[in-house]
Structure 1
Amino acid sequence: MASPLVNHPCIVCCRATSMWCSRCQNAWYCSPDHLSQDWARHRRECVPTNQVQQPYPNMIATPPPAQTELVSVTALLFLPTEERASLTVVRCRPQGTVSQGLCPVPLVQEWFRESVPNTIILTQGLNGEPLRFPLHIWYCPASLQRGTPVNRAIFRITSGAAAKPWCGPVLVLKFNGSRRQGYADAGTNDLPALSAYFLAYN
């Protein structure tokens, strides 16, 4: 004979239920919809557990839904036709749940319409010092290969002394820490490290 089910009140509607959040096993819901409805609040307290769930026949594990809201960060944009870098807003699509620590995916297609961009992660600044917040540089490889007009904004911050000219658009996002699990707002204080990088690139 199976073990009797222990019913608890659903956090949302107080209906008796034997279903819990499969991630923390510490919050009870009568349906996956009610877990989704409560997720904005519950995710702040939802700590994963390593316990094996009891094999109750009517137990339905309800994993938390993935975060789907786009987040926005400020990035530096170097356009070939502009004299200076400008600030722009980049939307990022979260991956998985908040606790998984996966870095959001920046939606950068509007700046790179002719080809899929390449990326470089800059971890060192001036004099080779490690950057507390690494920089994520996005650029167009097709523009570099075919030698389209030189990016005037990069030409300006390097005073034209770069070993190799940069062509096409360049977008720079800033990670929120060395673990690179998200992005923070980039700004003009990131220009010296970028200038050093563009000067040294060959």
Structure 2
Amino acid sequence: MSSLIDTCMLCGTPTSLWCSRCQRAFYCCSEHLRMDWPMHRNQCIPTYQITYTNPSEEEQITVVGILYSTFEDGPRFVDIGLQQAPFKSAHDAPECPIPILQHYFGGEHPDNLTLAKGLNDIEIRYPLQLWYSPAAFQTMHPMNRAIQHATNVPNAKPWYGPVIVLKFRGTRKTGYTNTGTRDFTALLSYFLSETY
């Protein structure tokens, strides 16, 4: 998914509303979704229907993450490849897949933090994992424009370098699922709570 705004499948009006089941078809109102449902139903694949069936180490799966870029004014959805983690032994379950983030961080190994609480310090059902550049924080360059524009508060703690957000499938953090527009509330709450 390339942006948060697209055109309505029925009338072509710019909109940020979409089918909550697949999160890929945009509609300007629920009436247009209802009208287009007989046609859209055949193409509508729920975002949560990702199968994990012991892939080989080379096999990749993809989820939708959120990119807060240093040179864009707002966040956008991006496809993130995941490398299946190897089994420790024949009796163990596989570890959480490994995100492939070199495209966003170059040769640097990014750090991450897990956001388990959202607005009003309420625990969120699907924790969010934020990947960021420790080198950008050390050099305090480049400023993350997307986060700066989202917070728009003078005393908010600045972020540096790109930030990628992934969403865990549950509190055990054994896999990822697609992020969605509902995740922006918890993220904005976190970015705003980080003040000087």
TM over 0.5: yes
Of 48, 62, 77, the residue aligned with 1:72 is 62
What residue identity is the alignment partner of 1:121?
A: T
- Deviation of 1:67 after TM superposition, in Å, equals 5.3
Of 154, 158, 165, the residue aligned with 1:172 is 165
2:147 is the alignment partner of 1:154: yes
Of 93, 102, 105, the residue aligned with 1:100 is 93
2:135 and 2:159 mapped to 1: Cα distance?
11
Q: Percent identity?
A: 37
**Runs (5+) with no aligned partner, structure 2:** 1-51
Of 81, 100, 106, the residue aligned with 1:91 is 81
Contact 1:84–1:156 (CA under 8 A) maintained in structure 2: yes
1:163 and 1:177 mapped to 2: Cα distance?
29
**Aligned alpha-carbon RMSD (Å):** 2.3
The residue that corresponds to 1:189 in the other structure is 182
2:184 and 2:149 mapped to 1: Cα distance?
11
- What TM-score, normalized to structure 1? 0.64
- Deviation of 1:66 after TM superposition, in Å, equals 4.7
Matches within 5 A, 1:1-202: 66=56, 68-96=58-86, 100-113=93-106, 115-161=108-154, 163-202=156-195
1:70 and 1:197 mapped to 2: Cα distance?
30
- What TM-score, normalized to structure 2? 0.66
Indicate the SS of the match to 2:158.
coil
- Deviation of 1:162 after TM superposition, in Å, equals 5.1
- Deviation of 1:163 after TM superposition, in Å, equals 3.0
1:101 and 1:176 mapped to 2: Cα distance?
14
2:145 and 2:66 mapped to 1: Cα distance?
14
What residue identity is the alignment partner of 2:77?
A: L
- Deviation of 1:160 after TM superposition, in Å, equals 3.0
